Structure 1
Amino acid sequence: MKILVVEDDATTGTYIARGLREEGHTVDLVADGRAGLLQATGAGYDVLIVDRMLPQIDGITLVKTLRGAGNMVPVLFLTALGSVEDRIGGLNAGGDDYLVKPFAFGELSARVAALARRPQTVEQETTLTAGDLEMDLLTRKVVRAGQELDLLPREFALLEFLMRRKGRVQTRTMLLEGVWDLSFDPMTNVVETHISRLRAKVDKPFETELIKTVRGAGYRIDG
């Protein structure tokens, strides 16, 4: 299974990730809610393990945002907040299970396995579209108006990020975090350069411009 662990306590996060990897799972570990939300969006995870008390964005908000966007990946809340009201709040927010710290790793592993066995109510998205532009996430092919586009890996990642958020403005900071995994501004024109290269392939040969610059805000893709 592919599992995302969103846990700000380094010791706990490392412990969970190591144990799950020893069981043969692929595990990504992030330490704050904002990074967790970006990572979880369309990354094809089978299960998310989410702490409730996280920096940047709390776990409840993270899961509510995913559910609001139609992402129904199973979520196990793992938290020190163990009252009945806390558990109800987590489940009502969209969580599928709730485990209170301190916990036994064996129980966590069993709960993760149980969540993964549940039938998915919504199929994982494998194709993204924007106008006459289509991206196949399985074959990693991008086609516009019947013409296949030759994109470099970073260009593909940038286009995927924009297409998953079609119609919504993405700021330079969002792009740096979501595509380059940078939590700081490197003070270079890396975003602008890649947007320009992407436009040359996605827009320039065609009549309609899909990638738009929103002055003073960022970029968005229409369609």
Structure 2
Amino acid sequence: MNILLAEDDKKLGKLVKYVLEKKGNYHVDWVQNGEEALVYAKGSSYDLLVLDWMMPVMDGIEVCKSLRSSNYTQAILLLTAKDALQDKIHGLDAGADDYLTKPFEMEELLARLRSLGRRNFAPIQADAVTFGEFTLNRTSHQLLRNGEEILLSQREYQLLDLFLQNIGNVLTREVILDRVWGIGSDVSHKNVDVTVKMLRDKLEGIGVGQMIHSVRGVGYRFER
């Protein structure tokens, strides 16, 4: 499953990301303020969100309220040092599905995420997805058009798969960078733009029209 972790404490964030990926076998994107959490949550597909309450720019409660007001349905776990009953009620009323107080044991965090995952189960992605006359085969990592392969680099394949998971949604360059190259990568937004251009040229070069649209100052949107 894909998890978005929003935690501004770098030491704790690094530890939680490591444990979730190594012990929980999750894919984890890690951001360090509430504004980034909101952008990532709205711009990509996550199965679970783990939000710290006290974050800079926008706190976890504000992020919860904003997401729920836009009909966001994925599970949200709130992390906080606040342990008063009224604080817990406030967090749950804001839209959190569960609440874990700091300090916490990693095994308890993993157990709570497993529970939320069962409650908020998302179907395993299909081995192949079809759009128009194209099929993206996730087992063989091939793009086929009427059975004939269109050669893609690994980055182009990952980018197209990401677009197909988010059809009609605007993906920021930051989201694309983290989901295709990985968080902490030393590549730049220019790498994103170049890879998008190469993928767009390959699709348009075989006469299918424009599918990848630029959103000025933000990122890209895929329409089939």
* Aligned residue in 2 for 1:26: 25
* Deviation of the 1:198 alpha carbon: 0.5
Q: Distance in 1 between matches of 2:137 and 2:63?
A: 26
15, 40, 48: which is aligned to 1:38? 40
Secondary structure of the residue aligned to 1:198 is helix
* Aligned residue in 2 for 1:151: 152
Q: Distance in 2 between matches of 1:37 and 1:217?
A: 11
* Aligned residue in 1 for 2:11: 11
* Aligned residue in 1 for 2:102: 101
* Maintained 8 Å contact 1:131/1:222: no
Q: TM-score, normalised by structure 2?
A: 0.67
Q: Distance in 2 between matches of 1:125 and 1:202?
A: 23
Counting matched residue pairs gives: 217
* Maintained 8 Å contact 2:24/2:110: no
Deviations 1:166-186 (A, max 9, x none): 334445555445544479994
* Maintained 8 Å contact 2:4/2:37: no
Structure 1 residue runs of 5 or longer lacking an equivalent are none
Q: How does 1:83-122 map to 2 (within 5 A)?
A: 83-118=84-119, 120=121, 122=122
Q: Distance in 2 between matches of 1:29 and 1:212?
A: 25
Q: Distance in 2 between matches of 1:216 and 1:107?
A: 41
Indicate how the Cα distance of structure 1 residues 31 and 196 shifts in structure 2: closer, same or farther if over 3 A, else same. Answer: closer
Indicate how the Cα distance of structure 1 residues 133 and 53 shifts in structure 2: closer, same or farther if over 3 A, else same. Answer: farther
* Deviation of the 1:204 alpha carbon: 1.4
* Maintained 8 Å contact 2:213/2:222: yes
* Maintained 8 Å contact 2:44/2:171: no
Q: Distance in 2 between matches of 1:215 and 1:51?
A: 31
* Maintained 8 Å contact 2:29/2:178: no
**One-letter amino acid of the structure 1 residue matched with residue 25 of structure 2:** T
Which deviates further from its counterpart, 129-138 or 156-165?
129-138
Which deviates further from its counterpart, 189-198 or 3-12?
3-12
* Maintained 8 Å contact 2:17/2:30: no
Secondary structure of the residue aligned to 2:196 is helix
* Maintained 8 Å contact 1:203/1:211: no
Indicate how the Cα distance of structure 1 residues 82 and 178 shifts in structure 2: closer, same or farther if over 3 A, else same. Answer: same
* Deviation of the 1:99 alpha carbon: 1.2
Q: Distance in 2 between matches of 1:57 and 1:129?
A: 38
Indicate how the Cα distance of structure 1 residues 133 and 96 shifts in structure 2: closer, same or farther if over 3 A, else same. Answer: farther
Q: Distance in 2 between matches of 1:162 and 1:12?
A: 31
Indicate how the Cα distance of structure 1 residues 204 and 14 shifts in structure 2: closer, same or farther if over 3 A, else same. Answer: closer
Deviations 1:58-117 (A, max 9, x none): 434555548957663x43211123344443343344432111223344543443343344
**One-letter amino acid of the structure 1 residue matched with residue 99 of structure 2:** Y
